[in-house]
Amino acid sequence: MNPAFSLDGQIAVVTGACGKLGPIWVEALLEAGATVAALELPAMTTSPAFAALEGTYEGRVVRYDCDITDRASITAAGQLVSAAYGVPSILVNNAGVDQPPDSGTSRSAIEDVPVEQFRKMVEVNLLGTLQVIQVIGGAMAKAGRGSIINIGSLYASVSPDQRFYDHMPGNLPFLKSPAYGASKAAVVNMTKYFSTLWGKAGVRVNTLSPGGVLGGQDPDFKAKFGSRVPLGRMAEPVDLKGPLVFLASSAASYVTGHELRVDGGFTAW
């Protein structure tokens, strides 16, 4: 492997480590040589994918309790990580919430979508990411080095295509809320802010925005989504690993303030 892509000796923090994408990021970092501090909600059940990584990379991935909406919780987790390993050199802000397709029994027209749904996504996806950057990213800036990678979404750039969901039965058609995309668009903008603020401190800040990733979707959805992607399919987890390692490593030493879209060309149309 080109040594520029090696993460040997690096300490990485990944938030939302037991979610859908968390184990993908954790595995990519471990494979590249990093030690990973995995932050997750205390009540979150350890996923099979994450448990497998703990068994394979014993001692190189350690889970810490952390609620990214609670600054005291972030500070406590950050102190534990720093005491064990020193100040991290990589931060992956992955923790977030989305709106999965529901059962079809209690949907709302757009005029009636509860503001609480919007508020929750902003609270976690934007304000939670901000607080982690402040606490852990701030320590990296004081140390004078590091790479922060905020996980965005293709919906930070385009509106959801509601036709992907119109085959789902229910009292009202499933409606993908504007809240998720709006919160992720704000993360992309915030990435640019911190990249310019901390560039002189040696900290690079970028966004990695995945397209749709395979994970138990129904056949109709997968067919519709794939037909909208120039490469003709949804993303496999392995498709995300290389881009993450690139942004985390010295191979991207002159890349900051950038949104890397890993979407199969979805946003090119």
pLDDT tens series, the chain, 269 aa: 689 999 999 999 999 999 999 999 999 999 999 999 999 999 999 999 999 999 999 999 999 999 999 999 999 999 999 999 999 999 999 999 998 888 777 788 999 988 998 999 999 999 999 999 999 999 999 999 999 999 999 999 999 999 999 999 988 899 999 999 999 999 999 999 999 999 999 999 999 999 999 998 999 999 999 999 999 999 999 999 999 999 999 999 999 999 999 999 999 99
73 catalytic? Reply is no
Q: Is 82 a catalytic residue?
A: no
Whether 236 is in a domain gets the answer yes
**Residues 175/107, Cβ–Cβ less than 8 Å:** yes
Q: Is 180 a catalytic residue?
A: yes
Catalytic position from the list 153, 195, 209, 249: 153
Residue 259 lies in a domain: no
Residue 159 belongs to some domain of the structure: yes
Q: What is the residue type of 11?
A: I
- CA 129/CA 192 separation, integer angstroms: 14
CATH number at residue 207: 3.40.50.720
pLDDT for position 265: 98
Q: How far is CA 268 from the centre of its chain?
A: 21
Find the domain containing 26 and state its range: 3-253
Residue 83 domain-assigned?
Answer: yes
Tally of domains in the chain: 1
Among 180, 183, 195, 249, the one annotated catalytic: 180
| List 147, 184, 241, 249, catalytic entry | 184
Residue 193 forms part of a structural domain? yes
* 263 occurs within a structural domain: no
Per-residue model confidence (pLDDT) at position 106: 76
CA 146 → CA 21, 61, 77, 104, 153, distances in Å? 22, 19, 18, 45, 22
Q: What angle do CA 261, 213, 91 make, to 5 degrees?
A: 60
Look at residue 29 in the predicted model and tell me its pLDDT: 98
Q: Is residue 131 part of a domain?
A: yes
Q: Are 210 and 235 in contact (CB under 8 A)?
A: yes
The pLDDT, as a whole number, for residue 105 is: 74
Give the global pTM.
0.96
The predicted structure's pLDDT at residue 7:
98
pLDDT score, position 134:
98
Are 68 and 42 spatial neighbours (Cβ–Cβ below 8 Å)? no
Asked if residue 233 is part of any domain, the answer here is yes
